[in-house]
Structure 1
Amino acid sequence: MSNIIVLTFDNAEEAGKVRDAIHQQQKQHQIALDDSAVVVKDENGKIHVKNEMDRGVKVGIVGGSLLGLLIAGVFFPFAGLALGALGGAGVGALADLGVQKKFVKEVGEALGPNTSAIFLIFRGGNPAAAVAALKPYKGEVYHTSLDPEDEETLRRVLSERIE
């Protein structure tokens, strides 16, 4: 099972600082991170995405990975999945694949101008340990998970669309 955790912050720099700290914890084998991305919404409302751990999957505009699709569905709900890979309405397509609509809506609404978020995917392990590792940071925490079957379906669809 993949656990997806998003932290949102009231400034544009905080998510990058958290990313650096989280990667340090990963190097020390304190947490097992599968993928991560920092999203910044600038003063004009433009979204900037920096995916840190793409594992060689061919990528679209925000990334052809599971995380790229999730980010596209959150911030570009109608056009986003043309960017990500599935086509159609982003939130609905994500919900069909097991991502809770409430999660997508809350994360999307949390970012205003000059704010940031870090998206993290932890596979297996204890999601409580991942949340505990993030506790020192002052941000709003959102959590959802994908069953292995839903994740596999999503990855299969992505690989078919990206090839």
Structure 2
Amino acid sequence: MAELIAIGYPDETTAAEAEREVQRLRGDLVIQADAVAVISRDREGKFHVSTSHHAVGGGTMWGMFWGLLFGMLFFVPFFGMALGAGMGALMGRIENSGIDKGFQRQVRDMLQPGTSALFMVIEKVTPDKAVAALSGFGGTVLKSSLSADTEKKLQEALHG
């Protein structure tokens, strides 16, 4: 079972700094993340997104996942994705995917203007090492489990 983790930070830059540490931890096999994304919200309320994906794990699929998830959570288009009938149906799939509604609400509440968040879909982690490495950044941690069935449905929806 994969975990969708969001770590919120009280400024616009810390999530990007924490993401660089996550990439180092990936290289050391402390965190096995399928996908990592950073979203920041500037003081004017505009969202800025950057992503990285597992080299073998289908970067396009995860790009669509982040786009649809962030679109659903924050009502923002991602990489110019148009919400035609097909995209609307995919968004519905993500919305009904089992990602906890409380988690969705907490993420929306957390990402206010002038803040940022680090998002990860994690398969495996060495908790003590990951916590030790990321604790220096502070932040508020939110977590939602993605069952194998949920992951499969999302992959099927995203791959058409």
If the TM-score is normalised by the length of the shorter chain, which range does it land in? 0.7 to 0.9
User: Any unmatched runs of 5+ in structure 1?
Assistant: none
How big is the shift at 1:155? Answer: 1.1
SS in structure 1 at match of 2:137: coil
Aligned to 2:41: 41
User: Residue 33 of structure 2 contacts residue 54 of structure 2 at CA under 8 Å; is this kept in 1?
Assistant: no
TM-score normalised by L of structure 1: 0.79
Contact 1:111 1:117 in 2 (8 A): yes
Q: In structure 2, what residue type is equivalent to 1:69? A: L
Count, aligned residues: 154
Identity over aligned residues, as a percent?
Answer: 26
Higher strand share: 2
Distance in 2, matches of 1:127 and 1:70, equals 26
Q: Please tell me the residue identity of whatever aligns with 1:4.
A: L
CA distance 1:81–1:121, change in 2 (3 Å): farther
Alignment partner, residue 15 of structure 1: 15
Name structure 2 gaps, 5 residues minimum.
Answer: none
Q: Which residue of 1 aligns with 2:70?
A: 71
Structure 2-normalised TM-score? 0.81
| 2:91 is aligned with 1:87 | no
Distance of 1:9 and 1:155 partners within structure 2: 29
Q: Indicate the structure whose relative CO is greater, using CA pairs within 8 Å and at least 6 residues apart.
A: 2
Task: Work out the CA distance in 1 between the residues paired with 2:113 and 2:50.
Answer: 17
Q: Which residue type is aligned with residue 76 of structure 1?
A: F
CA RMSD, 1 decimal: 3.0
